[in-house]
Amino acid sequence: MSDTRISVGLAQIAPIWLERDATVDKVVTWINKSAAGGCTLVVFGEALLPGYPFWVERTDGARFDSELQKSLYAHYVSQAVSIDTGDLDDVCSAARDNRIAVYLGVIERATDRGGHSLYCSMVYIGVDGNIGSVHRKLMPTHEERLVWAIGDGNGLRTHKLGPFTVGGLNCWENWLPLARASLYAQGEDLHIAIWPGNAHNTGEITRFIARESRSFVVSVSGLMRKSDIGSGLPHAKLLLDTADDLMANGGSCVAAPSGDWLLEPQSGDESLYIVELDHEQVLEERHNLDVAGHYSRPDVTRLIVNRKRQTTAEFSD
């Protein structure tokens, strides 16, 4: 492989739904598969660890003070990821041992916000196994706001990976032009968009972002089927009775900086899709449009980004 090329793995998989430790084991297995396939980077879907809250829209999730909703939320918190206490250590070790970078969607139990609220976070782990950024979703979408808190700008960061500068966003925040612009301004030329799953979300925006930014865009989605609901979960019978046979069908895909498909949206079974990217194509497409460079006018319009991690208290001892 030349110095201008990398291979990226799109791990379109289902979680062991709402079971953190078992899902971590599954993620590690797919990291190993990706490394064996020659990947420099592997990407997993939004909220994969320990899973997207599919129950909310199916079980009257907006009912205030519902014993059912409180019970399901409590289980969700118990299975969420606490980075400070080492819940991602095995994932980091797999990245380091395989010399592969990882983007992983997690539900984060944030100790710096008290430890009881949940954030939909996108974690970047470098080839050295160190966590490079944790981006908390800026604005959860619709029913997600019943279980996820709003994030901040701390994770709006890019990372060098071979010849590329990689960054990413969660699901519908990919539609936010200023969030995208904050990554473009940092030199992003490989954009990662992660989704809980469904091809209707990824088909248009993946090519649109590629055309706008003249970057490669990798969209990775999860899967969720009724058969992924374990019988040991709280209220398992209700969850099974209200579930659709297929709640997330994938839709992972890759667009080139020209907007052409390298991998059209893929739906169906769990699979690892590997796509080779050549940075030379970025340079070619930036010739006539570079939205953070020669085609920008910072003397006319300029973006201010607050990347301070937001907390409710600062202590001086």
The domains of the chain are located at: 5-285
Residue 227 has a CB neighbour count (10 Å cut-off) of 12
pLDDT tens digits, one per residue of 128-155: 999 999 999 999 999 999 999 999 999 9
Q: What's the CA gap between 189 and 215, in Å, rounded?
A: 4
Active site residue 171: yes
The answer to whether 269 touches 11, Cβ cutoff 8 Å, is no
Using CA atoms, how far apart are residues 75 and 72, in angstroms rounded to an integer? 5
Q: Is 46 a catalytic residue?
A: yes
Of all residues in the chain, the percent with pLDDT exceeding 90 is 98
How many whole angstroms separate alpha carbon 233 and alpha carbon 49? 16
Extract the tokens encoding 88: 């991602």
Percentage of residues in the chain with pLDDT exceeding 70? 99
* Residue with token string 């380091």: 96
Report residue 195 CA to chain centroid gap.
6
State the pLDDT at residue 2. 67
Closest CA to 150 of 310, 303, 304, 313: 310
Residue of 19, 46, 108, 144 marked active site: 46
171-209: per-residue pLDDT in tens?
A: 999 999 999 999 999 999 999 999 999 999 999 999 999
Torsion of CA 64, 197, 112, 55, to 10 degrees: 20
Q: In this predicted model, what pLDDT tens digit does every residue of 238-263 receive, in sequence order? A: 999 999 999 999 999 999 999 999 99
Q: Around 253, how many Cα atoms within 13 Å sit in the side-chain half-sphere?
A: 26
> Per residue in 27-80, pLDDT tens?
999 999 999 999 999 999 999 999 999 999 999 999 999 999 999 999 999 999
DSSP 55-90: TGGGTTTT-TT-HHHHHHHHHHHHHSB-TTTTTTHH
DSSP 95: H
Q: What are phi and psi of 58, to 5 degrees?
A: -105, -5
Give the C-alpha separation, 175 to 164, whole Å.
22
Three-state secondary structure call for residue 45: coil
The answer to whether 13 touches 26, Cβ cutoff 8 Å, is yes
Catalytic residue among 26, 120, 137, 253: 137
Give pLDDT, residue 268. 87
- Of the listed 39, 92, 120, 171, which one is catalytic? 171
Report the C-alpha gap between 159 and 110 in whole angstroms: 23
Helix (H) or strand (E) segment spanning residue 8: strand 5-12
Burial tier of 245 (Cβ tally within 10 Å: 0-12, 13-18, 19+): exposed
CATH class of 5-285: alpha beta
Q: With 60 as the cut, is the pLDDT of residue 1 above it?
A: no
Q: Look at residue 309 and tell me whether its pLDDT is greater than 60.
A: yes
Does the pTM surpass 0.85? The reply is yes
Q: What's the rounded Cα separation, in Å, for the pair 190 and 213?
A: 9
Q: Is 285 a catalytic residue?
A: no
> Which has the closest alpha carbon to 272: 27, 82, 88?
27
DSSP 49: B
